[in-house]
């Protein structure tokens, strides 16, 4: 169980958070313009990499804010935490 440094509340136990999967997958602005394949790409396709992965996390049992986490999936080391809307860091 790891520790997550919530950008609004500070460092808390992982049990206070929920994971929201891969980050930076924006909902298409005009879904109706997309064909089935393009929509399926948004809807279903997610990366599952060994190494640094950008993820969304939510402080569900705290401030309930969503934010982004760059986490190394091989050892759960968190490289960077940044707010929603910010660009992913170069790691």
Binding site for another protein (CB under 8 A): 1-3, 13, 18, 20, 26-28, 30-32, 34, 36, 39-40, 43, 56, 58, 60, 64-66, 75-77, 84-85
Q: Which token pair is 21?
A: 């999967």
Helical (H) or strand (E) element with 40: helix 36-44
| C-beta of 24 vs 47, nearer to another protein | 24
Q: Closest by alpha carbon to 51, among 32, 76, 69?
A: 76
| C-beta of 64 vs 90, nearer to another protein | 64
CB 76 within 8 A of CB 61: no
The CB-of-9 to another protein minimum distance in angstroms stands at 15
């Amino acid at each position: 169980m790891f520790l997550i440094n919530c950008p609004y509340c500070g460092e808390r136990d992982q049990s206070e958070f929920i994971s929201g999967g891969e980050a930076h997958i924006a909902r298409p602005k005009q879904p109706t313009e997309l064909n089935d394949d393009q929509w399926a790409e948004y809807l279903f396709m997610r990366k599952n990499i060994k190494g640094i992965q950008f993820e969304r996390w939510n402080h569900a049992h705290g401030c309930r804010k969503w934010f982004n986490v760059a986490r190394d999936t091989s050892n759960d080391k968190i490289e960077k935490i940044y707010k929603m809307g910010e660009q992913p860091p170069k790691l």
